[in-house]
Structure 1
Amino acid sequence: MTEPASAGALDRRFALSARGTTARTEVLAGVTTFLTMAYIVLVNPSILGQAGMPVASVAAATCLAAAFASILMGFVANVPLALAPGMGLNAYFSFTVVQGMGVPWPVALGCVLISGIVFLILTLVGIRQMIVAAIPAYLFAAVAGGIGLFIGFIGLKNAGIVVGSPATVVALGNLHQPGPLLALFGLLLIAVLSAWRVKGAMLIGIVATTLVAWLFGQVKAGSDPYSITAIAGTAFKLDLGGVLGFGGSKGLGLFEILFVFLFVDLFDNIGTLVAVTKRAGLMDPDGNIPGLKRILITDAVSTMFGAFCGTSTVTSYVESAAGVQAGGRTGLTAVVTGLLFLATMLVAPYAQLVPLAATAPALILVGGLMMAPLVEVAWEDPDVAIPAFLTVAMIPLTFSIANGLAFGITAHALLKLLRGKAVKSDWLLMILAAMFVARFAWLASA
């Protein structure tokens, strides 16, 4: 079968022939990537909704932000990398920033915008490379694992499988209740589909669990009529004035929020880039990623756009590797994924009808998948194992990515100092550790 007439223009624009692919292959790869990450349209609103944000609005904002970011990545950087609001950062936004610190969600969106601007500036002036070089690679893996436990714990809590206990802090919930039963059904279904390598397993599981919930009367249809204009509930609602008005302990909290948004987005993006470009054969022999600056600029601009739409930090998705596995090698894959997210806006507001018990299994399994980088940690080496463990443990146990980062980086820096292994090039690492120590001292006296 011959390629369509438009294939020639696509070939020239995306260098399809040069990368050994075709327009048909790229389209199929884009669909595959979309199916593996479309769950975010349902999961992101359920998480940000717990911050008091309108669920239907967040669903529409999620689709628009993912569409814009993926299409921009395809055209600007020409890599098969799709983007959407990041898992982990949305949980930090909702549970730590809004619920834990008491920051109103419009102000939190303002923090997301500022972090995107700072990220863009750091990329343009080259400071990004300095920050990446200052943090040991094993801590990247530990942060990913800690966020995985964080997300999984939130899923178990939302499902009612794990509940609070005054005697033991947490305990097993009542599995006879409809919520936990629905979540366990969804967990089993997604796990089986994933084991069979079914594309879109998480999305299928969420939809199927929602249908079962409807059949058993666990979902109440909303009275609000459908409208694509639902995005107006969050679009341009960010409050920069509220961000700039922070003072005292709130000012320190602002720094912490910006640091976590920036740090996690930066290293999550780097980790995803390495994984996807390596699998796609786009990495050069020296381990460098061609067009890295364009990729990072796109990521920063996408985060800023997402903040204006009304969603948490937008970042690259490791699920893009599924599209690469299906043959995607160019930005056309990302463009197709983005167009599918744009089309999904037509039904996005109905995400408010999806119960927490239906999205909880996806959180649990996404958390499990995020544990994979922990194999990169040299657990037999105390110099590595102790900071890594503190990072992994403190993120879920304190419900704060910031605390995990603080303990991990500080422990790493102190071990280097006390063992006499610190060198002149560690100056930035030591500054970061000192800032974290100051943060703990400030919080203790507040």
Structure 2
Amino acid sequence: MTVEARLAARFDFAGRGTDGRTEALAGATTFLTMAYIVVVNPAILGQAGMPVAAVAAATCFAAGVASILMGLVANVPLALAPGMGLNAYFAFTVVGAMGVPWPTALGCVLVSGVAFLLLTLAGIRQMIVAAIPPHLFAAVAGGIGLFLGFIGLRDAGLVVNSPATGVTLGSLHQPGAILALIGLAIGAVLSARRVRAAVLIGVVATSAIGWASGATSFHPPAYSLAALGETAFQLDLGGVFGGAGRHGLGVLEILFVFLFVDLFDNLGTLVAVTRRAGLVGADGRIPRLDRMLLTDAIATIVGALAGTSTVTSYVESAAGVEAGGRTGLTAIVTGVLFLLTMLAAPYAGLIPLAASAPALILVGALMMAPLTEIDWRAPDVAIPSFLTLAAIPLTFSIANGLAFGITAHALLQLAPGRIGRGDRLLLVLAALFVVRFAWLAS
């Protein structure tokens, strides 16, 4: 039996309508849209006093192992890496504002990962997925599409901050913006012509144009693979369990935020990507959900041991799905590329944001389809769905979007007295969300 035949049998190519070449291209596409994390994550965690080179190696290692594990265990095209947002919370709030040493903060990440694992083994996370109504998941998928598009527009410099209006149109005379528009045109034309590798071709072509024209430049810092030892297994669990006296309720707050954001960010990403890949059953259930959630929990533990903040599923996986990825081989290819990048982690910056940004914009546009499944004429459906759809990109958080949507849905079901036995978990979740918002406000 040939290697291709073995892969086809192992990952069910026939059942999912794909082949080895498509899966490899999809994995490369996902990697290119995620590669920025290899440069950005060390820059953020470095501000917490962590050694930058070590974090770069840990980022590649954690992303590589987690993505390969997801592909092997769950057979879905879902890649993982240290999460944006959670790394900023780690660096600027936990270490910077609260004064928690970074080894103790890593210990908090490990404890949250173990808690995820226990919640998964107990079936709690699966119950949460089953309790959330279908129209909210459709809104999450569309919200993530808007989220990706907004990130892409911002990375391209086409949308910038404005003190008057919050955001506004960026300067179209900047080299990065011009390059991104060229990349967007290339990707859009290829997508319209049904070229399966359109996103990947667009990223590579735009990068080449940027380097050839001098519109982009990059100066990699000093780096050594051996630096991984400076963060690996350097976490301080004693500081977590004995830190209540020094940090008060702060440690509990840290653990809660890590748990909450990772839980609901992951659920939203997982549902959106599997829906886009056509892997959701006719009954709305996600096959192998247990394996996906289990892998996600293990990924956070691996990341903490390697020396990086919470590892989570990446919405950029949708780029690989759009390129045709339908099986775990896509995630494995992405993971292998991350492991290879460990040899020269900072060189991931050779792919400029202006090249990966158009890919996110295109994928975001194509993720709007689930919004047609929502009954926008029914207020009890439309209002929670809209709040979910709007809050995800505007608050830069999938978790916040789900929090608004679930709370609104519970309220609109409770008001006319339509809460059934199956809705009780949603009421509990809504109450927890209200407590969380009150906590954040204080």
The answer as to 2:389 corresponding to 1:425 is no
Q: Which stretch shows the higher mean deviation, 249-258 or 421-430?
A: 249-258
- Matches of 1:164 and 1:332, distance apart in 2: 39
Q: Which moved more, 1:347-356 or 1:312-321?
A: 312-321
State the secondary structure of the residue aligned to 2:168: strand
Match of 1:414 in 2: 411
Aligned to 1:264: 265
What's the counterpart of residue 313 of structure 1?
Answer: 311
Displacement of 1:398: 2.9
Q: Name 1:180's counterpart in structure 2.
A: 177
Instruction: Tell whether 2:405 aligns with 1:404.
Output: no
Q: Which residue of 2 aligns with 1:170?
A: 167
Question: Is structure 2 residue 30 aligned with structure 1 residue 37?
Answer: yes
CA distance in 1: counterparts of 2:372 and 2:338, whole angstroms: 33
Given the alignment of the two structures, is residue 356 of structure 1 paired with residue 349 of structure 2, yes or no? Answer: no
Q: 1:171 to 1:432 in 2, by over 3 A?
A: same
Alpha-carbon RMSD across the aligned residues, in angstroms, is 4.0
- Please say if residues 136 and 405 of structure 2, whose CA atoms lie closer than 8 Å, have aligned partners that are also in contact: yes
> Which shows bigger deviation, 287-296 or 252-261?
287-296
Deviates more, 1:93-102 or 1:431-440: 93-102
SS where residue 38 of structure 1 aligns?
helix
Contact 1:303 1:315 survives alignment (8 Å): no
Give 3-state SS (helix, strand or coil) of 1:421's partner: coil
Normalising by structure 1, report the TM-score: 0.77
Structure 2 CA distance for aligned equivalents of residues 262 and 336 of structure 1: 25
What is the deviation of 1:233? 7.1
1:207-249 CA-to-partner distances (Å, cap 9, x unmatched) read: 4333333344444442535644465676556666776646447
Q: CA deviation at 1:136?
A: 1.5
Deviations 1:311-343 (A, max 9, x none): 6524374566568x58x77x6676556445544
- Sort the Cα spacing of 1:111 and 1:212 in 2 relative to 1 into closer, same or farther, 3 A: farther
Q: Secondary structure at the match of 2:396?
A: coil
Shift of residue 344 of structure 1?
Answer: 4.6
Of the three residues 18, 28, 44, the one matched with 2:21 is 28
Aligned to 1:442: 439
User: Aligned letter for 1:167?
Assistant: A
- The TM-score, its normalising length taken from structure 2, stands at 0.78
Count of residues paired in the alignment: 425
37 and 390 in structure 1: CA distance in 2 versus 1, 3 angstrom threshold? same
- The counterpart of 1:130, out of the listed 127, 135, 138, is 127
Match of 1:145 among 142, 147, 161: 142
Whether the 8 Å contact between 2:116 and 2:259 is mirrored in structure 1 is no
Which residue in the other structure is 1:213 paired with? 210
SS at match of 1:143: helix
Greater mean deviation of Cα atoms: 361-370 or 153-162: 361-370
Contact 1:115–1:261, Cα closer than 8 Å, also in 2: no
Q: Separation in 1 of the partners of 2:68 and 2:346?
A: 22
Whichever residue aligns with residue 24 of structure 2, its letter is: V
Asked if the contact 1:57/1:232 (under 8 Å) is kept, the reply is: yes
What code does the residue aligned with 2:38 have?
A: P
1:93 and 2:75 are equivalent in the alignment: no
Structural mapping, 1:195-344, within 5 Å: 195-222=192-219, 224=221, 227-229=224-226, 235-236=232-233, 245=243, 247-248=248-249, 251-252=252-253, 254-273=255-274, 276=277, 278=279, 291-309=288-306, 310=308, 312-315=310-313, 317-318=317-318, 321=321, 335=332, 338-344=335-341
Alignment match, 2:154: 157
For residues 235-273 of structure 1, the C-alpha deviation after alignment (integer angstroms, 9 at most, x for no partner) is: 556666776646447744642342121122134324544
Deviations 1:47-95 (A, max 9, x none): 5356355887666555433442344345445x3x244226xx8333256
Structure 1 residues 411 and 372: CA distance shift in structure 2, 3 A? same
The answer for unaligned runs of 5 or more in structure 2 is: none
Distance 2:398 2:373 in 1: 20
* Pairwise CA distance, 1:35: 2.7
SS at match of 1:408: helix
Which piece of structure 1 moves more, 42-51 or 390-399?
42-51
Distance in 2 (alpha carbons) for counterparts of 1:345 and 1:149: 31
Name stretches of at least 5 consecutive residues in structure 1 with no aligned partner: none
Q: Which amino acid aligns with 1:42?
A: A
Please give the secondary structure, in 1, of the residue aligned with 2:85: helix
Preserved contact between residue 62 and residue 311 of structure 2 (Cα < 8 Å): no
Q: Deviations over 1:357-390 (max 9, x none)?
A: 3333233334334433323322121101101111
Are residues 301 and 107 of structure 1, via their aligned partners in 2, closer, same or farther at CA, if it must alter by over 3 Å?
same
Note closer, same or farther for the CA distance 1:136–1:274 as it changes in structure 2 (3 Å cut): same
Paired residues of 1:143 and 1:404 also in contact (CA < 8 A) = yes
Q: Show the 5 A alignment for 1:353-392.
A: 353-392=350-389
- In 1, distance between residues paired with 2:333 and 2:399? 35
Partner of 2:79, secondary structure, is strand
Question: What's the offset of the Cα at 1:418?
Answer: 0.7
Residue identity opposite 1:421 in structure 2:
R
Report the CA distance shift for 1:308/1:334 in structure 2 as closer, same or farther (over 3 A): same
* Mapped pair 1:84 → 2:82: no
Output the CA distance in 2 between the equivalents of 1:251 and 1:405. Answer: 22
Change (3 A) 1:295 1:96: closer
